[in-house]
Amino acid sequence: MVTKTTTKKYIETVGRRKTATARVRLTEAGKTSYVINDLKLSEYFSTEVLQSIIKDAFAVTKFKDKYTISALVRGGGINAQAEAIRHGISRALLKIDEEFKKDLKRAGFLKRDPRMKERKKFGLKSARRAPQWNKR
């Protein structure tokens, strides 16, 4: 007995910002929906600002097709996670249509933001803060 499984075609990319990493999948679907770490978009990102950060890549490109966006995001803060997802969505949109590159690059969505916290060095109180020095 052979069982037939239907697998939908998807595009998977990785987006990063600071120490946050997001694995993003775009799957063709009947309507647009967002699933982040098995939660709805409004449940995971409670504020409108964070939700709009994720939707920015679609707004800039004026992409109208219906996709289910699922993301597995780890590390970083809540804002860095939202921007990591946006970075992953932008990379996935490039795989769909190369003509989006101009708009996405102008908006700054294709650049990975490498800024991270600097490590503490020995002999110092923090990364750069030295102990107080007195002359006498």
Answer whether residue 119 is part of any domain. Answer: no
- Pull the structure tokens for residue 6: 């239907």
Answer whether residue 121 is part of any domain. Answer: no
Answer whether residue 63 is part of any domain. Answer: yes
- Number of structural domains (the chain) is 1
Answer whether residue 71 is part of any domain. Answer: yes
Answer whether residue 116 is part of any domain. Answer: no
The enclosing domain of 36 has a CATH number of 3.30.230.10
Share of the chain above pLDDT 70, in %: 95
- Please provide the DSSP assignment of 49-104 as one string: HHHHHHHHHHHHHT--S-EEEEEEEESS-HHHHHHHHHHHHHHHHHHH-GGGHHHH
Look-up of token digits 């939660």: 39
Instruction: Give me the chain's average pLDDT, please.
Output: 90
> Measured between alpha carbons, how far is 51 from 37 in angstroms, rounded to an integer?
14
- Give the tens place of pLDDT for each residue, 41-52: 999 999 999 999
Look-up of token digits 């996709």: 67
| Residues of the domain holding 75 | 10-107
pLDDT recorded at residue 113: 86
Answer whether residue 30 is part of any domain. Answer: yes
Answer whether residue 5 is part of any domain. Answer: no
